Amino acid sequence: MASDEKYVAGIFGGAIAIISIWGLMRSNKKIIAGSEGMGYKVYSDGSVGASINVNGEKVWVLLKEGNHYEGKGYVVSFPIFNDIDMYKKLVKFSGGNKDSLPRLIEIYNEDYQEGDEYLIISVEEYIEGLEN
């Protein structure tokens, strides 16, 4: 195997490992509202995940403020097709609606650290906020 092929295989294997570890860390959370297709998920602990469009790739963020149409959040899925350093970074997104995902606006130089605050809300409050 050529060194370039080993490098690519190593990166791919590392990405799979990171995705697997992240999945294990999240396994205690149950989705109680929303879905992959709706662009948001409210988890049993009150946290909210939102999907955003980054150069045509769907990336999931854990909301810090706002909603799944416009806000800020920490990137919690590992971007596979984008060569942008954004995993665990705080990002700003905007321009979403019921028909399309919001787009990445800005990446801040702030990494998520265990214990950082993120949006905690009840399903009722989240849904009500979308309707207003």
Summarised one tens digit per residue, pLDDT across range 37-85 is 788 888 888 888 899 999 888 999 999 999 999 999 999 887 788 788 8
Contact 102, 93 (CB under 8 A): yes
User: How far is the C-alpha of 87 from the C-alpha of 105, rounded, in Å?
Assistant: 15
Nearest to 102 by CA among 70, 78, 126, 129: 70
Q: What is the DSSP letter of 114?
A: T
pLDDT the model gives residue 45: 83
pLDDT bracket for residue 14 (50, 70, 90): very low
Question: What Rg, from alpha-carbon coordinates, does the chain have?
Answer: 16
Residue 113, pLDDT above cutoff 80: no
pLDDT in tens, 28-37: 778 888 777 7
With residue 60 as reference, give the H or E element that holds it.
Answer: strand 57-66
Q: Where are the domains of the chain?
A: 30-131
- Would the pLDDT of 8 be above 70? no
- Residue 93: pLDDT above 90? yes
At 114 the pLDDT is 67
